[in-house]
Structure 1
């Protein structure tokens, strides 16, 4: 119940929306591939990982010196629970990993570009329990001090998805009159699912009369997981495979740029460098990301359950030490009534609406705003993962070979973070939570971004009058 930001897109605050992002800007808005500084850009490898929650916090010593197993964690010492939160506040946890494999962007000319991206992604969410119910399960369940009180679960769910993604992008400048430039782009994706699962409890109500006797008045459990999980192998990466559980996806994006004056320069310097990419004063972008999904076949043993029962020993539904979770579910299902369900489920990818505004102060210093809003986090479809919506403001410094970024973000759970990022030639590294975590005693979320690119470092001669070439 105490699951451990969901940022499924390959994204570092400020950097991914900049004119130097190249191939790394494509996952956030495919239109950014057109009119980039680079004639070509190759990603060798990159990874972003995020993890966060609203209920459990960890001190520094636990993060840097974790125990060998979760069972060895000591509450009040190795982790702390936010048990004093508003009893009706809902608690959530999330995590994601986005691995960008070798990928390439090529600018056909100053108007149009193509890109190929290969990503391996995993995303998970859990939550929806109110604080009082979360405390009920988290504090020495079954706790005899929490008897003879009614608890309700309106909707609580968890899900995860691990998939492979090949993306083909086309972007072009749709209009350019020197002052106004409009760009559009689309990424078509071939998805292949590796593993996925979900569980959802709806409209449940229960009372624990004693530590050995409880009554569940109502509720349903919907759950399913993909076939491959029953034959899970170790290490985890050995389960990775291509072209199984095929699905399709798409990203769409447009970018508008406003320039104060026409400088009359077009094309690439020395066939490698587009000096006009950052001549705009204001840049606005809108994109729809991760539209699509993957259909999985359920294991035959998966069952939806009606949870109502007059009497049940809470210890019987408690996870037992050494018990595998599949074994645990098979045992739990014998205590309740089976409900017919489909033999397949569709795991939607974490669709979102991305908004961006970028203001050019003097050609070196910029201020970027980015908002990412989840589109499929409603309660009626349990078989999905989704993003945690957030807003981010990033002042940044950008020159040809060096960039610095200080993202300041707030998510819809009311959590405020500050981080830092650095671009040094082909290397990009950063975290959107690093600075805030340095000053927080206990941590509820962390993330990191690391990528290595091949970009044209020697750009040829500068052109007089082009601001971008002076830095």
Structure 2
């Protein structure tokens, strides 16, 4: 945030801001973190022909400002369908990705690697001087820009039906619901980097690399030129351009919410990533059910989720009037699960009560039975099907 939203009858308008640091990896081979932890001199990892495919890793830091619009496209009795969209302008401070469609290699010993075949690329736009990593490059501050879009539709089965139209913003009442179901596409778009950006390609390269353990680099330019010279015999041959593109973490989302009884609800959602290429950030998949108790001044949620379709998690959040605090990993905080991640979040949200207009002046036409009272709405028999 900060963010704000206002509803005007069938129309709703919103303004939102956010900042994110996001990283993702896909099909990271099991041996790579082991080499990182034990080192290349680990004998159990040597003299094995590793053949890895479709590896990628990406990271980016950005902020965005978005405009949202939603419209009640259909409303009949106690049923309503709303469609909406958000367009976001994105400013990215930094971005980097690495990808390899094929890596075939053997670590022979602690000083020799036989790279039989490698196809891959690396792109980056970072706030550093590539010739001197100690120097910060902050002109321009944002190395990339782009657009993002959210699109969605929501079906609502309401508890009540409006008996009359509202002619003042404050007199619009909250439409309580029996259930609602929504489908959306999130973060459809990309970030284009044209400032301090470099792209390097390594196509069908191979090398028998001896004494690699004595190789050291003091800056990024030295690293890329030495690798290019190693694979191609030319320190500039790997350079492929000064522009890169990193896709936003696009995903499809399906959500449902059901009013069990009075203030008790049960929600559920499914989020699955959509990737258009190997340098698109990957949003993790999630399935969750979220029972909750909700009132005007207090709310508690107990999200029970499965992360990436295999890691179960239990969270807890509570809202006290306008302040919310919570975690998606309650077990880690309680010390009853492995410490492989930790999170905590908090938010402040102020809302203006619907259906309650303050009296602007006293008159004979303005008494306890007029403007300062909520307008009644008719309840319909829930057995009627439309």
Name the TM-score, length of structure 2 as normaliser.
0.81
> Structure 2: where are the runs of 5+ without partners?
357-371, 379-386
Query: Matches of 1:168 and 1:310 in 2, distance apart?
Result: 54
SS at match of 1:138: helix
User: Whole-Å Cα distance in 1 between the matches of residues 133 and 211 of structure 2?
Assistant: 34
More strand, by proportion: 2
Does the 8 Å CA contact 1:160/1:384 hold for their aligned counterparts?
no
CA contact (8 A) 1:250 1:290 kept: yes
* Deviation for aligned residue 1:276: 3.4
Residue 391 in structure 1 maps to residue 287 in structure 2: yes
Higher RCO (CA < 8 A, seq sep 6+): 1
Question: How do 1:126-145 residues align onto structure 2 when only pairs under 5 Å count?
Answer: 126-145=25-44
Pair 403,437 (structure 1): closer, same or farther in 2 beyond 3 Å: same
SS in 2 for 1:165: strand
Q: Secondary structure at the match of 1:303?
A: strand
Please name the residue that 1:308 is paired with: 206
- TM superposition shift of 1:314: 4.2
Match of 1:157 in 2: 56
* Secondary structure, counterpart of 2:213 in structure 1: helix
Once the two structures are superposed, the pairs formed by residues 29-178 of structure 1 within 5 Å of their partners are: 100=1, 102-109=2-9, 111-178=10-77
CA deviation string 1:60-109 (max 9, x = no partner): xxxxxxxxxxxxxxxxxxxxxxxxxxxxxxxxxxxxxxxx2x22111223
Q: Using the alignment, how far apart are the partners of 1:114 and 1:352 within structure 2?
A: 23
The change in CA–CA distance for 1:294 and 1:284 in structure 2 (over 3 A counts) is: same
Q: Output the CA distance in 2 between the equivalents of 1:204 and 1:301.
A: 22
1:192 aligns with 2:91: yes
For residue 34 of structure 2, give the secondary structure of its aligned residue in structure 1: helix
Partners of 1:301 and 1:359 lie apart in 2 by 50
Aligned residues: 357
* The one of 217, 230, 237 aligned to 1:335: 230
- Which whole-Å CA distance do the structure 1 matches of 2:220 and 2:314 have between them? 37
RMSD of aligned Cα (Å) = 3.3
The 5 Å alignment of 1:228-243 reads 228-230=127-129, 241=141
Moved more, 155-164 or 123-132: 123-132
The corresponding residue for 1:453 is 349
Matching of residues 352-363 of structure 1 within 5 Å:
352-363=251-262
Summarize deviations over 1:255-314 as a string: whole Å, max 9, x none: 00113564637649x954754322x21100011111111211275764223541123334
Distance in structure 2 (CA, Å) of the matches to 1:367 and 1:275:
23
Q: For 1:285, what is the secondary structure of its paired residue?
A: strand
Q: CA deviation at 1:316?
A: 4.6
Query: Which of 276, 293, 309 is the aligned partner of 2:174?
Result: 276
Partner Cα distance (1:339, 1:391) in 2 = 42
More off after superposition, 453-462 vs 367-376: 453-462
Q: Determine helix, strand or coil for the equivalent of 1:409.
A: strand
Structure 1 residues 316 and 357 mapped into 2: Cα distance closer, same or farther (>3 Å)? farther
| Partner Cα separation in structure 2 for residue 189 and residue 301 of structure 1 | 26
Q: Confirm or deny: 8 A CA contact 2:158 2:179 kept in the other structure.
A: yes
Going from structure 1 to structure 2, the CA distance change for 1:384 and 1:327 (only over 3 Å counts) comes to farther
Q: Secondary structure at the match of 1:361?
A: strand
Larger Rg: 2
- The equivalent residue for 2:265 is 366
Partner of 2:114: 215
Residues 1:250 and 2:126 are matched in the alignment: no
